Amino acid sequence: MTHAHAKVSASFASQLGYTDNLLKTSDKISTMQQSLQAQLNMVHQWRQLNSNCGLSVSGTRYQASQNDNIANNHFHCVLSYQPSSQHTMSLNAGYNNADETRGSGISKNAPNNIDQPDQYTNQNLNLTYLYQTSPLQGFRFSSSIKLTDKNYQSARSLALQNNRQQNKLDLIVGYQSRKNTYWFTHYGISNSRFNEAEHRNNNVNTLALGLAWQATAITGFKAELGQQNKVNDDHLNKNASNKSEYWSISATWAPKTYSVFTLNSRSYYQSSVLTDSNTQQNQTLSLDWRHSWNNRLDSQVGMSYQKYDQDSQDNRIEKLKSFNMSVAYTLNNRIKTKLSWQLQNNQDNLRQYSFRQQQIFLTFNLAWQT
């Protein structure tokens, strides 16, 4: 082990912002906000073993609502081992201790029911393995095991019913051709368990066929199409089962190396934060354009559409439209500034969670690296 293979980096970010609807409600709270974030990261390489570990600490203060101030402490570590070109293994571990902004997460339906943000911890562990007969052509097999444990510190009923453990397994088998085309089959199992609300336990099984094609280092696409089978262990309808379409599409097109368009779309099940709904089906569509005008000036423009269909008796459906843009200027290798804007418009068919929010931020970032 030598110091020549180790790199340490640190960064400090300061952000000044404004939001016209902090809690995302019809009764708007407009406020200025200030955020500070410090990060420390170390990357190390020893033979075939690579590690990337980091720690970040951040805090946000809201001028017009001091009770909504939040803090976020995060740690992560990634270990990867590649004994040969055929085998690659990685272990990704993370821990998060954070405040959940009122008006989001479990308080998004009724932020006024609490007078300060909910605090939670989130632990995750992800183990992956990849086998390929050759990087250019041949058989490929990959597996991923992900464990997540999220717990709220609050003792109120809504928080207790959202303390959960999730175990997820994904298996992908495919064939890579010399024409940069990859055909594959994806099978996934997701198991969610709620310690304080066993009737919300659910399982989601995924089976899909996929195709990936890479024309250049930037331009390419990946698509999966299949079906998901959801099973709820609820007390009213034991082992109630539902089936739904599943897709995952991503495409990147670069007419120039300095101008990149990205399209993403997904349809999938996930556990809901609402106590009257075990799961929800999400359908998302997003388009993003990133352009480098010169070595210092970069811009980004994006838009997205998200539909949330709750698995509940009232058939609640939400539709969220988002627009965002940003301009970033790099002064030198250590100093960067960014101006960003975001608009969100959410429509709820039951008129319980309709809102419009506009935000603008100015960020200064200072980075250092050995």
pLDDT at 197: 86
108-165: pLDDT as tens digits: 878 888 999 999 999 999 999 999 998 889 999 999 999 999 999 998 888 999 999 9
pLDDT at 342: 98
238-260: pLDDT as tens digits: 555 688 899 999 999 999 999 99
Domains of the chain, with CATH numbers?
1-130+316-370 (no CATH), 161-297 (2.40.160)
pLDDT at 2: 45
pLDDT at 35: 98
pLDDT at 108: 82
pLDDT at 355: 92
Q: What angle do CA 71, 75, 78 make, to 5 degrees?
A: 155
Please identify every stretch of the chain with a pLDDT value under 50, giving residue numbers as ranges.
1-4
